Amino acid sequence: MTEYIVATNIDDRVLTRTARMLEGGALVAMPTDTSWSIACSLKSVEGIKKLRKISGERDERHFTLLCSGISQFGEVCSLNNSRFRLIKRLSPGPYVFILKTLSGTEKFLDIRRREAGVRIPDYPVPIRLIETLGHPLYSITAKKSMLGGEWETLNAEEADTELPPIPEDELFESGWELENIDGVDLILDSGEERERIFSTILDLCGDEIKLLRQGAGPWPV
C-alpha cells in the first residue's frame, strides 16, 4: 500500500494511521535525507523480527535508530559530553553514530554487540513520523537486493572492519520502485525522486573516533 504525501505538510491522519500500523508490527518505507529507508517501531518485537528478515544482514552496524532529537538517544545508548557536542554539531544530517548501548538493549534488539547506530535525519517525513509515534524507529537502507536474489552478509570475523560503500545502483530513487519488496506494508511516497546516497558512519565507542564508512557527510570536519 502507498500513501502519497507532501513531505513538508503531511496530513496528520496519515501520520496517525502509519504510527498505529508500526505499533502493530508493520514495516514502512519512507524517503530520508539519504535515499530510502525501511523502518519499524523500536518497541515492536514483531516489527524488529520482520525488519531483520527482510534485510538479510547479520552485521548490526547496517541497522540504525532514527530519532527526532538527541534526547531520544538516551533511551538506548550512553552518551558523554564530548560525544554529545559532536553529535549536536553534525545533526540533523547524513551521519550514523555508533554508541554503546544501555544494559538490556542488545537483548531486545536481538543483536550480538552492545553497540547501536543512531542518527537524526535532515528530512521531515521520518521526523514527523517519529514525533507522532513517540519513540525512535529501527531502520535499514532500502536496497534493490531486497527485491529478490542473494543478500550479501558479513562473516563474524569481518565485523570489525570498515563497512563498504553501498553501490549507487543498489539504491532507490522513487517510491514506486519499492512496491515489490516483500514484507513492506506501507510506502510513504512524497512523489519526489531522492538522491541515491548513503550516510557516513562514525564509531564513537572508543577513545578515538573511527570512520567506518564514508558517505554523504564529510569527515573529518
Q: What is the pLDDT of residues 153-197, one digit of tens each?
A: 444 344 556 777 888 889 999 999 999 999 999 999 999 888 899
Q: Which of 20-34, 65-79, 158-172 is the most confident on average?
A: 20-34
Q: What is the pLDDT of residues 81-103, one digit of tens each?
A: 999 999 999 999 999 999 998 87
Domain CATH code at residue 53: 3.90.870.10
Chain position carrying cell 548490526: 60
CA distance 107 to 113: 10
C-alpha gyration radius of the chain: 16
Residue 115 lies in a domain: yes
pTM greater than 0.85 (yes/no): yes
How far, rounded to the nearest angstrom, does the alpha carbon of residue 108 sit from its chain's CA centroid? 17
Range of the domain at 102: 2-213
CB 195 within 8 A of CB 32: no
Residue 30 lies in a domain: yes
Number of domains composing the chain: 1
Residue 50 lies in a domain: yes
Residue 219 lies in a domain: no
What burial letters (b/e) apply to 134-167, b meaning 16+ CB within 10 Å? ebbbbbbbbbeebeeeeeeebeeeeeeeebeebe
CA distance 171 to 90: 24
Cα dist. 116→103, 120, 141, 221 in Å? 12, 14, 15, 22
